Amino acid sequence: MASIVEKNITSLITGLAHGLTTSTYVDKKGILQQLDPRTKVLGGLSLIILASWSHSTEILIFLYIGCLLLGLLSKIPLKKILHQWYILPFFSLFLALPLIFSFVTRGHEIVTFSYPFVFSITSEGVALAVRFLIRIATTVTIVQLVLLTTRWDFILKALGSIGIPHGFLFVLALTYRYIYVFISSALDMILAKKSRTVGKEKVSSLRSWIGALSGSLFMKSIVMSRDVHEAMISRGFTGKVKTLKTFSFQIADWVSLFIILIITGGAIVIR
Amino acid sequence: MEQLLYDKMKQNITYEAKHIGFRYEKSQVLSDVSFRIQKGERVAILGANGSGKSTLLKIFDALLYPSHGELYFEDSLLNEKYFENEEREFAFRRKVGFVFQDPDVQLFNQTVWDEVLFGPLHLGLPESEVVDRANWAMDTLAISRLRDRSPFTLSGGEKKRVALASILSIKPSVWLFDEPFAGLDPRSQSNLLDFMINTHNRGETIIVSTHDIMLLNELADRVLVISEDHELVADTTPEKLLKQKDFMIQHNLMHTHMHTHGKKVHSHEHIHK
């Protein structure tokens, strides 16, 4: 049991580190890689707003499938994009699950339970939960597509050029720089614990260790984030992101923004 | 004549600390330290763990400001007000390069190439010069083959070289090294030492914080010793310091080591590494 939990924590942490720092798909010759980072940031934000605002399951499914296709056209394997379904339930299933029951969403009853009290699963509730999950999946996929096809410094510069305040970008840049150091530290702590553990460990003691790990990581994180911040300041970083690349809008960018405008307008009209 | 000599000496001063101290929350980290560092000097700041060496280096790099006292860099008083002007800050950061103890903290870009050009790019140099400097720094440190690698995937020695290249590309005239040899294997240590000697031969100022006295003779021409009470207790040469064994034991730079040869108990000084 202990090793499964440990294994999951380790794979979650390394997966997060890899996901945040990988540049495998940035240089592929795909459709999204050809676009100006500003187009991707603006387009991505518009589609996220649309997905959050839309109450139509059809529109959400259309957006989700569209994102999957866009991913494939950007040379990102479907497996990589669908990987989110390993993590997604952890964060959203607990929120979505109560929606299916009659005590939260009233409607046509599909199944009725009589223990510990009388309640049912409603078709409206199931539709609501499914819509919620697709909305989350669509939003995560949009963010994932932008992150996987754009260098991080270009994203920051693009956010700056559309008017996001420098203070906010500074915090964002610092968080990104620091996360790998934080993750390495967490992995070291897991390894250090493993080297001092003999035999099978009780779940209760493992639970208390995870609590202690979180506490020490929090304390460490304060010191480490300060160090990373100082290292950035020391080399002239003031919050304004600079890159060698000069952004320029091409025909493909205008066409993409036009398509996004049509999709958004269409969704408003349908509603 | 005296005024002329004084002015001449003033021109050559890189740092002048006047009774500087630093408090962090309730604890005193550095206490009433005064000294001058001339241009082109090689200075080692020696002290036991927690004596305040790293804090002093951070004050030199204006990452921290003294809680009391004054620190001058080439005649300019370093304080928050001075750095309110961005141009002044850039000018300062172009002159002073800080090599952090832990390269993992210092390396935060996606590729080695981005890492090396980060400094010159953010310090406002023209793009063509940024690229030239980055290429030059990578060639000098022999890391061109690592160009597209992520810094996080490199070995300890490679990370150190990338960290050095990321500062070299700024072409600073003052180098601050915080515990530079910590965690390096002998070959990496030797390469780093060669790099530091070459840097000094170019006329650049080198300030190194360390508690390692093994390489002191090769590393510096002058030593400032900070005590465990966070005070400056010696400003001397490595040769003179290494002869003062009692002094070094007193300040936790060396300790007496006891062991037995058969039935005979034997004790001698032992370098604290």
Mean pLDDT, each 10-residue run in order, chain B (273 residues): 63 90 87 93 92 92 94 92 90 94 83 91 91 94 89 86 93 94 84 90 93 85 92 92 86 71 66 49
Do residue B127 and residue A244 have CB atoms under 8 angstroms apart?
yes
pLDDT for B272? 47
pLDDT for A2? 47
CA distance B143 to A137: 41
Token representation of residue A58:
């059809």
Across chain A, where does the E strand assignment appear?
109-113, 119-122
pLDDT for A212? 83
- For domain B2-271, which CATH number applies: 3.90.1150.10, 3.40.190.100, 2.40.50.220, 3.40.50.300? 3.40.50.300
Report whether pLDDT(A24) > 60.
Answer: yes
Instruction: Quickly list DSSP for chain B.
Output: -HHHHHHHHHHTEEEEEEEEEEEETTEEEEEEEEEEEETT-EEEEEE-TTSSHHHHHHHHTTSS--SEEEEEETTEE-STTGGGSHHHHHHHHHHEEEE-S-HHHH--SSSHHHHHHHHHHHTT--HHHHHHHHHHHHHHTT-GGGTTS-GGGS-HHHHHHHHHHHHHTT--SEEEEESTTTT--HHHHHHHHHHHHHHHHTT-EEEEEES--TTHHHH-SEEEEE-TTS-EEEEE-HHHHHH-HHHHHHTTSEEEEEEEETTEEEEEEEE--
B chain contacts of residue A179, beta-carbon cutoff 8 Å: none
- Comparing alpha-carbon positions, the chain B residue that sits nearest to A23 is B110
pLDDT for B205? 95
Do residue A235 and residue B86 have CB atoms under 8 angstroms apart?
no
Has this prediction a pTM greater than 0.95? no
Residue pLDDT, tens place only, A137-154: 899 899 989 988 998 888
pLDDT for B189? 85
Residue pLDDT, tens place only, A230-271: 998 999 988 787 888 778 888 999 999 999 999 888 887 776
Report whether pLDDT(A16) > 70.
Answer: no
Do residue B63 and residue A243 have CB atoms under 8 angstroms apart?
no
Among A26-40, A201-215, A251-265, B29-43, which is the least confidently predicted range? A201-215
pLDDT for B220? 93
Do residue B119 and residue A236 have CB atoms under 8 angstroms apart?
yes
- Chain A from 113 to 152: CB within 8 A of any B CB: 151-152
DSSP code, position A97: G
Do residue B108 and residue A23 have CB atoms under 8 angstroms apart?
no
Instruction: Please indicate if any CB of chain B lies within 8 Å of the CB of A24.
Output: no
A chain contacts of residue B117, beta-carbon cutoff 8 Å: 244
Residue pLDDT, tens place only, A107-132: 888 888 887 888 888 888 898 888 88
B chain contacts of residue A21, beta-carbon cutoff 8 Å: 110, 150, 152
pLDDT for B94? 94
Instruction: Please indicate if any CB of chain B lies within 8 Å of the CB of A222.
Output: no
B chain contacts of residue A181, beta-carbon cutoff 8 Å: 104-105
CB distance B156 to B192 below 8 Å? no
Phi, psi of A188 (to 5 degrees): -60, -40
CA distance B225 to B203: 24
Smallest CA–CA distance, residue B119 to chain A, in Å, is 5
Mutate to test the interface with B, among A23, A25, A220, A235 (most CBs of B within 10 A): A235
A chain contacts of residue B105, beta-carbon cutoff 8 Å: 181, 224, 227-228, 231
Do residue B123 and residue A236 have CB atoms under 8 angstroms apart?
yes
A chain contacts of residue B109, beta-carbon cutoff 8 Å: 153
Q: Higher pLDDT residue, B82 or A216? A: B82
| ipTM passes above 0.85 | no
Residue pLDDT, tens place only, A84-112: 777 776 667 778 888 888 888 888 888 88
| Nearest-by-Cβ selection for B63 from A17, A230, A243 | A230
Instruction: Locate the domains of chain B by residue range.
Output: 2-271
Report whether pLDDT(A32) > 90.
Answer: yes
Do residue A235 and residue B123 have CB atoms under 8 angstroms apart?
yes
- CA angle, B178 as apex, B177 and B184 as ends, to 5°? 95
CB distance A231 to B106 below 8 Å? yes
Token representation of residue B185:
């294997």
Do residue B122 and residue A237 have CB atoms under 8 angstroms apart?
yes
pLDDT for B273? 45
Residue pLDDT, tens place only, A219-231: 877 787 788 889 9
CB contacts < 8 A (A, B)? 72
Do residue B110 and residue A21 have CB atoms under 8 angstroms apart?
yes
pLDDT for A14? 61
